[in-house]
A and B are shown apart, each in its own frame.
Chain A
Amino acid sequence: MNELDFLKQYSPTPNTWDEMFSSSSDIRAPYQKVIDYLSTESAESLTKKEELAKNLFMSQGITFTVYNSGEGVEKIFPFDIIPRIITAQDWNFIEIGIKQRLKALNTFLKDIYSNMFIVKDGIVPADIIYSCPHFLREMYNVKVPHDIYVHIAGIDLIRDFDGTYYVLEDNLRTPSGVSYMLENREITKRLFPDLLPQCKVRSVTQYPEILYKNLMAISPRQISHPTIVLLSPGSYNSAYFEHTTLARLMGVELVEGRDLLVENHKVYMKTTNGRQQVDVIYRRVDDEYLDPLVFNPDSILGVAGIMSAYKKGNVAIVNAVGNGVADDKAIYSYVPQMIKYYLNEEPLLKNVPTFQLGNKEEKEYVFSNIQNMVVKRTNGSGGYGMLMGHVATDEEIHDYQAEINKDPRQFIAQPTISLSAAPCFINKALHPRRIDLRPFALCGPDGIEIVPGGLTRVALKEGSLVVNSSQGGGSKDTWVLAS
């Protein structure tokens, strides 16, 4: 009965892969149960569910604070109640694809900070490495436990119009969003009772245990209870909720830079019972703020001397310092070659074709096709400083080109990928919105594990292709089905 209201009105975006509908009337099989469930509900009752979700986020303090006019305003990260589903088959492909990619990227980091074989063999040009601001000479020949650099990775995937998965970017520094993967699932359990088991959705709750196990395993001191801490920039950070959630779920101490001190190349935390040596630091502070003695001298978020303790092997830092050289957008285009070079395998997950503006010919090609291009800064993130060729005005393009010409190495361009769309419940009806997917991979001495799920980010503005939360993005619960 209500199916009329919801589904007949829904019109998928043309030339776009719609996750739920294969045509305007055909529902993809994995979504059938969800649609059956939704069709027993009215738009009003779904709106109530939406309200419930908002209240749950609010009362649990799953918020970030926007400071303006002197008073903090609590905001929630917008959540769309309709889940996004990934089939067992697709997931299997994603899983082995990401494992392959991470194996190569981790080997690349070890190589870059030791022998540089990949440069000597001419696979990756030296100037790309040396001009990368995240390439840290301080890390040269530093031995990291078990040779693991990338302990936690969030690889962003998108789907083109035919449903093919592409890697949009590799996040190998401090990828965030995993708490939303966990909380979205908890909220969905409340919104749609019994639906998860009926659909055979795989659980994501094991994430903190796996992470904790890996952190324990890399402790430099071989003791039964190493001290593990999560280093946060503090409660004004927009991801602070995530830091507290992870610390709580793992039962580790949540510390700030001011809680730690370094003496004799060892890291200690200041407790009511004197000093306590710290063995493993899961840091959510960027490299440049980590140690004022080595990096940004004005940083008060970090700990003076922590790099010396790290280099001596007295403390393990997660993720390793200097990883930015591997997820730099200019390096990104060499990842397929890396996979061939280090693993002698064909890459499974595709790269989005990428043009290096540092290369003259490619720059000219991009400039003459700028309407079909997305231009990004190689060290940018959060969806800032991008040029979307298909919507930009001539003036914007002109200004941006001037900016590029100042330092072409700092820019890359990619053809506009349309991004798949999924139905979202907005204003009491279903509307298509563009989405991406960030699964979270954990690497430890036992290998790489990927929790079946991830963060599906949604561009909530109509027609928008930018899913970043700083640009009006939201999220969905992400269901991976058991086969």
Chain B
Amino acid sequence: MLSRVASNLYWLSRYLERSDGILRILKINYASSQDALHEFSWRPLIQIYHSPNEEIINKIEFNSRDVLQYMITGRDNPNSIINIITLARENARSVQDHLTKDLWQCLNEYYHLVKDKRLIATLKKGDPVSVLDELIKQVMLYYGIAEVTMERGEGRSFMNIGKYLERSIQSTDILDVKFKTANSDPDLLTGTSYLRYLLLSLGAYDLYLKTYRQGFDPENVLELVVLNNDFPRSVMYSVNNIHRYFERLKHNKDIIESKELSFMIGRLQSTIKYSTVASITNRGLHPYLSQVKKDLFGIGNALDLNYFAYA
């Protein structure tokens, strides 16, 4: 496979996963904002994906509709859905012959949907949840089509590495930001709604109830989101999948760079596997998550250098 093609597929997949994460967290935070007794601040969420200057945050942080527009159709926000999907589509456009026609068509429709006038009008004036639902449905369609139609080859492996790398970074980020906010305002954790919305935004709510069957406990949330291998958005599950799809590539390249990457992935996998809630809290959640993130970025950079550097 051409290095350029591998790189495009990987980035296409990262952008799609990112858009999925953003849409879900927006939906839950919007619901939470409608439920809030005090003024609901979007500040932490905006900061997960992008750090605009204070002026912008101050202007919009308490206005849900402004934030939604900024996050979905905002041209000046590099991680707005419209900018992400445009980039994803540009990546896909030049590797169309490596995607199935169905998948390319789906991406196209996603792109045209975000630019749809009716949708933009609803976002401004109507029910934002229906807009978010429509967009989420399009991403779901993308995942379904990718799963059903894509060849089980190298291309899909690169796509999945991108997907799980992006997912693990997002889960780590969300956890980090949410617990940081809770640390500075411990009252948040005494009520149930803060953790409930955190779980909901990661799609972890149902699984949490089934697994723990009792009230919301920060340590259990931590265990589920970082260590539980049955939860598809957990860091453990994502890193295991990065490992899995990287190993599928590996037979192609038995050279030093490949071994180095394999080592990096394996080390991160073991670090998480042999962590416990106790060991994480002992070390401090924030330093722990920061290290995980640093390792994930390291893997991304090594991929870039060893597999995608074609120029």
Using a CB–CB cutoff of 8 Å, the interface residues on chain A facing chain B are 58-61, 234-235, 240, 244, 247-248, 252-256, 258-259, 269-274
Contacts and interface: CB of A to CB of B under 8 A. Distances in A.
Given A235-B90, A259-B4, A244 B97 contact: yes
Given A248-B96, A258-B311, A61 B253 contact: no
B99 to A, nearest CB: 9
Interface in B230-253: 249, 252-253
B310 A258 contact: yes
B105 to A, nearest CB: 6
Nearest to A246: B97
Which of B95, B97, B154, B158 counts the most A-chain CB atoms under 10 A from its CB? B97
Nearest to B96: A244
Nearest to B251: A273
B147 interface: no
Interface in B45-83: none
A59 B105 contact: yes
Contacts of B310: 258-259, 270
Given A248-B101, A270-B310, A272-B249, A59 B94 contact: no
Given A234-B94, A247-B97, A248-B97, A61 B108 contact: yes
Interface string B108-130: 11001000000000000000000
Given A59-B109, A248-B101, A258-B310, A271 B93 contact: no
B290 interface: no
B195 to A, nearest CB: 42
Which of A248, A255, A274 counts the most B-chain CB atoms under 10 A from its CB? A248
A61 B154 contact: no
Nearest to A62: B108
A253 B108 CA distance: 22
A237 B307 CA distance: 26
B2 A255 contact: yes
Which of B6, B307, B310 counts the most A-chain CB atoms under 10 A from its CB? B310
A254 B95 CA distance: 8
Nearest to B75: A71
Interface string B1-14: 11110100000000
A254 B97 contact: yes
Contacts of A274: 253
B93 A272 contact: no
Interface size class of B (residues with CB under 8 A): 20 to 34
A253 B3 CA distance: 12
B154 A272 contact: yes
Given A256-B4, A273-B252, 20 more contacts: A58-B108, A59-B105, A59-B108, A61-B105, A234-B94, A235-B90, A235-B93, A244-B96, A248-B96, A254-B96, A258-B311, A259-B310, A269-B2, A270-B3, A270-B4, A272-B1, A272-B3, A272-B249, A273-B253, A274-B253
A188 B43 CA distance: 52
A108 to B, nearest CB: 35
Contacts of B101: 60, 248
B93 A240 contact: yes
A14 B85 CA distance: 51
B304 to A, nearest CB: 12
A59 B138 CA distance: 13
Contacts of B2: 253, 255, 259, 269-272
A10 B203 CA distance: 61
Nearest to A70: B75
Nearest to A256: B4
A225 B90 CA distance: 31
Mostly, the A contact residues are: mixed
B94 A272 contact: no
Contacts of B3: 259, 270-272
A234 to B, nearest CB: 7
B104 interface: yes
Contacts of A259: 2-4, 310
A182 to B, nearest CB: 13
Contacts of B112: 58-59
Q: What are the 8 tightest A-B residue pairs by CB atom distance, in nearest-first order?
A: A244-B96, A247-B97, A248-B97, A235-B94, A273-B252, A61-B108, A270-B310, A254-B97
B6 A272 contact: yes
Interface string B84-106: 00000010011111000100110
Mostly, the B contact residues are: helix
Interface of B: 1-4, 6, 90, 93-97, 101, 104-105, 108-109, 112, 154, 158, 249, 252-253, 307, 310-311
A357 B79 CA distance: 59
Contacts of B97: 244, 247-248, 252-254
B140 to A, nearest CB: 18
A240 B104 CA distance: 14
29 contacts: A58-B112, A59-B108, A59-B112, A60-B101, A60-B104, A60-B105, A60-B108, A61-B93, A61-B104, A61-B105, A61-B108, A235-B90, A244-B93, A244-B97, A247-B97, A248-B96, A248-B97, A248-B101, A252-B97, A254-B94, A254-B97, A255-B2, A258-B4, A258-B310, A258-B311, A270-B4, A272-B2, A272-B249, A273-B252
A273 B108 contact: no
A256 B94 CA distance: 10
Nearest to A74: B112
Contacts of B249: 272
Contacts of B252: 272-273
A272 B253 contact: yes
Contacts of B1: 271-273
A180 B311 CA distance: 33
Contact of B307 (A254, A269, A272): A272
Nearest to B92: A61
A240 B108 CA distance: 15
A234 B253 CA distance: 28
A4 to B, nearest CB: 37
Contacts of B253: 272-274
Contacts of B4: 256, 258-259, 270
Contacts of A255: 2
A61 B101 CA distance: 10
B92 to A, nearest CB: 9
Contacts of B108: 58-61
A256 B7 CA distance: 14
Contacts of B94: 234-235, 240, 254, 256
A269 B4 CA distance: 10
A255 B311 CA distance: 13
Nearest to B112: A58
B94 to A, nearest CB: 4
A248 B249 CA distance: 23
A186 to B, nearest CB: 11
A269 B2 CA distance: 7
A126 B273 CA distance: 79
Contacts of A270: 2-4, 310
